[in-house]
Amino acid sequence: MHKKLFIPGPVEVSQDVLDKMSTPMIGHRSKDASALQRGISEKLRVVFQTKEEILLSTTSGSGLMEGAIRCCTVKRAAVFSIGAFGKRWYEMALNNNVPADLFEVGFGEITDPKFVDEVLSTGRYDLITITHNETSTGIMNPVEEIAKVIKKHPNVVWCLDTVSSMAGTDIPVDELGVDICITSSQKALGLPPGLAACSFSKKAIERAKKVPFRGYYLDLLQLYEFIQKKDYQYPSTPSLSHMFALDFALDKMLEEGMDNRYKRHIEMAQYVRAWAKKYFDIFGDEKYLSNTVTTIKNTRGISVADLNKKLGERGFQIANGYGALKEKTFRIAHMAECSVSDIKELIENINQILNL
Ligand SMILES: Cc1ncc(COP(=O)(O)O)c(C=O)c1O
């Protein structure tokens, strides 16, 4: 039996989007491929709220994260982490011989804008990484406040991980001043995993020109220059199946309207939070809760693994806590094409299993 996914990626994909993955192939050097990929970039610019170029990558989001930190750091990267995915940037830097420092807070906390200002004021850094929505904790960083302090440091390239939030919550990339904003297909965009997208600002382009060894497959400058010359075709053969599906999913998304989409995500989040507060508690700082995933404190000491097994028998799947938070918390994702009634159905089943 298929289990309806309420995990924070991969998410449940609508059948019509899945069907587009089996569109007959076209040549990746054809005019049709150019038109398809050019169209996707135009539509993604609306979703990202940016006038900058969009780069597509046949990798998951981690590919573009690695490419970004490697291609755009000349001096040193300041990596701010509020959980497992924030720390991943640091490991990427170390493994690519990119000088970097890690600034971590405890799970459930946010990145403090004042501290960001202090760190950048040292003048040691020319790139900063921030996690917008930390999927391991269910915390959404106050990016507007963080943006204000980063703007005081115009030589710093800002990389923002919106892997689990873009298209699920309002992120005005240009207004915030983000240089490289990264997302993955398998989260709020509502596609199967395997494709990633980012915005790439002029500042990031100029910076990358100063980095001599940018790798090859994930050389963002090469991707940028190639798509300018070749009308949105990519240097290597991309996952055209994803392109067909993404193009279709973006049409649906824009038809729904981004504001309606964000509203739907907030409604789902509010429903889950209210339920969590009634029967359990919410993990992390309540002022900064994610609109796409809720982390619930296991105050009743239930077996999350057992709950998930029983949910599985009914055709649903939620996520256990991440890493050290396993069994101490569990997570319910509410993103992409998920509706309030899907969430109500899930919660009703949890209530029945737990006799709540
Ligand atoms: C916040 C965040 N950043 C980065 C990643 C890594 O993305 P991917 O699995 O697409 O490489 C994830 C994956 O869950 C994530 O949730």
- Each residue's pLDDT tens digit in the chain (356 positions)? 999 999 999 999 999 999 999 999 999 999 999 999 999 999 999 999 999 999 999 999 999 999 999 999 999 999 999 999 999 999 999 999 999 999 999 999 999 999 999 999 999 999 999 999 999 999 999 999 999 999 999 999 999 999 999 999 999 999 999 999 999 999 999 999 999 999 999 999 999 999 999 999 999 999 999 999 999 999 999 999 999 999 999 999 999 999 999 999 999 999 999 999 999 999 999 999 999 999 999 999 999 999 999 999 999 999 999 999 999 999 999 999 999 999 999 999 999 999 99
Nearest to 170, CA basis, from 198, 196, 132, 200: 132
Between CA 274 and CA 271 the distance in angstroms is: 5
CA 197 – ligand 1 centroid, Å: 12
Burial of residue 49 (number of CB atoms within 10 Å: 0-12, 13-18, 19+): middle
Q: What is the pLDDT of residue 340?
A: 98
- Tokens standing for 287? 């002022």
| Tokens of residue 278, six digits | 């009634």
Long-range contacts of 245-249 (CB under 8 A, 24+ apart): 245/17, 245/18, 245/20, 245/21, 245/191, 245/192, 246/40, 246/185, 246/189, 246/191, 246/195, 247/20, 247/36, 247/39, 247/40, 247/43, 248/16, 248/17, 248/20, 249/17, 249/20, 249/189, 249/190, 249/191
Q: How many angstroms is it from 173 CA to the middle of ligand 1? A: 18
- Can you tell me the distance from the alpha carbon of 246 to that of 257, in angstroms, rounded to the nearest whole number? 16
Q: Give the model's pLDDT for residue 282.
A: 98
- What is 63-105 written as a DSSP string? HHHHHHHHHH-SS-EEEEESSHHHHHHHHHHHHTT--EEEEE-
| Residue 336 confidence (pLDDT) | 98
User: What spacing in Å lies between the alpha carbon of 62 and ligand 1's midpoint?
Assistant: 6
Q: Is the CB of 113 under 6 A from ligand 1?
A: no
> Which pLDDT does position 169 carry in this prediction?
98
Q: What share of the chain is helix, strand, coil (3-state, %, to 5)?
A: 45, 15, 40
Instruction: Tell me the CA distances in angstroms from 268 to 173, 287, 343, one per residue in order.
Output: 24, 17, 7
Helix, coil or strand: residue 282: strand
What is the structure's pLDDT at 149? 98
Sheet containing strand 319-320, edge to edge, reads 281-282, 293-297, 329-333, 319-320
For residue 7, which of 157, 120, 136 has the smallest C-alpha distance?
A: 136
What's the CA gap between 353 and 196, in Å, rounded? 37
Give the pLDDT confidence score for residue 78 in this predicted structure. 99
Using alpha carbons only, how large is the chain's radius of gyration in Å? 20
Give the pLDDT of residue 231: 98
pTM over 0.85: yes
pLDDT at 17: 98
> How close is the Cα of 87 to the center of ligand 1, in Å?
11
Q: For ligand 1, is residue 9 a contact (CB within 6 Å)? A: yes
pLDDT of residue 289: 98
pLDDT for res 278: 98
Contact (Cβ atoms closer than 8 angstroms) between residue 164 and residue 9: yes
Q: Are 163 and 59 in contact (CB under 8 A)?
A: no
Burial 76-115 (b: 16+ CB within 10 A, else e): bbbbbbbbbbbbbbbebbeebebebebbebebbbbbbbee
Q: Is the CB of 129 under 6 A from ligand 1?
A: no
Pocket probe for ligand 1: among 79, 130, 135, the residue whose CB has the most ligand atoms within 8 Å is 135
